[in-house]
Amino acid sequence: MFKMEQEFQEIDSKNSWNSVYQKIRHKSNSYDYTCKDARRMDNKSLNRYRDVNPYDHSRVILKRGDKDYINASLVKVKAANRTYILTQGPLPTTTSHFWLMVWEQQTKAILMLNRIIEKNTVKCHQYWPMSQDEELVLTGVGLKVAFLGEKPATNYTVRELMLTDLESGQKRVVLHLHYTTWPDFGVPESPAAFLAFLQAVRESGALDVDVGPPVVHCSAGIGRSGTFCLVDSCLVLIEANGGRLDRVDVQEVLLEMRKYRMGLIQTPDQLRFSYLAILEGARALSCCQQKDAHPTADERVINRSPERNGITEESSESEATDSSDDEDEGDDEDTVGGGKDASENGEGSSRLPTGAGDSPPPLPPRLKRSSEENSNSSSEAKDLLAGEPGAKETPPRKRLRIVPPHLSEKDLP
């Protein structure tokens, strides 16, 4: 049994998650970082919560418009080669700043982890148009947002939005991946459901190194947002270490992330859920690695098929072998409630990908990407979103993805 599993079992058996969480809070409260810009009189009204402010050293700075301030932080997990922008749910007065940040940071996707209304309280402004008959014109920053389509899945909805720079006429498609079932004052219904959403995010290309950082938000931008980023980063680190859990310290990763934005992971339950999701994701990774190490006769034939991979019979076996070397919120209000988001009733578009439901994810994407994969990433993502049949053949160095069997909490030690 690895250290992380032992740690989880020990904390769970003693019911000491609150104690562990308070220790993390105490350590991070000793960080000597300032929030002077967030607390300036002319910026205070731009913060959704009084006690959730970005640090000066890591805040996102807007480059155009009448203000350079937005309650958003650039969070880096260097060991995992991950960078995220964590921010609060936009206010009516900060929606233009939000979209300006998306444009300037060249963000490919927005990850929304809350609903607009939760427990009869507005937690986020409706900052995107709901239909193709609507468009959002932001004259103060010279941008326009248009709705292209959406596709609902079991626990989330994927939308396509068109962001246009009114001055230059440049256009970009921005994905909006909206997790809709995070319960009020709690955690997702299961690690498998959450991991299915994470897999959809990864497959969209939102976390690729050759695009701008994803914008991740909930209400305050610290609780659910911190949970998502912690799980994703730890799974990347586990994969980079050959699936070994003993080389990844979840609490140390969280403490490192808290150096960029205060209060990440807002409750003991969110911390416990993070461990559960990481352990289940690691088990799925292990299943995939074992399958790859011991493929069946049929799988060996399929993976080496020259017709499928576009390579000669002579080079097929060596390519398959080489591919294995490349494997790589402050208030308690920042929780999701039962309020109904009006966007849930939107008409689905056939252009967007179908959701994965509650199935656990396959092997997470590689930490490192080859130059060939990087050059094709934009067009591959476009094909995925358009729902078009595979226009390209599978790259020679990429083996077939094998989906592991379903895992549930009862499968954990």
Q: What is the 3-state secondary structure (H, E, C) of 233-276?
A: HHHHHHHHCCCCHHHCCHHHHHHHHCCCECCCCCCHHHHHHHHH
Catalytic annotation, pick one of 218, 229, 234, 288: 218
Partners of residue 73 on adjacent β-strands? 59, 86
Distance, CA of 381 to CA of 374 (rounded, Å): 11
For 69, 257, 364, the CA distances from 275, given in Å and listed in that order, are 34, 16, 17
Alpha helices in 157-249 (DSSP H): 191-203, 223-240
Partners of residue 86 on adjacent β-strands? 73, 216
Establish how many alpha carbons lie within 13 A of residue 19's alpha carbon, considering only the half-sphere containing its beta carbon. 6
Q: Which amino acid is at 413?
A: P
H or E element: which one contains 149? strand 143-152
| Known active-site residue 218 | yes
Residue (of 371, 373, 359) closest to 405 by Cα position: 359
Would you name the residues annotated as active-site residues?
A: 218
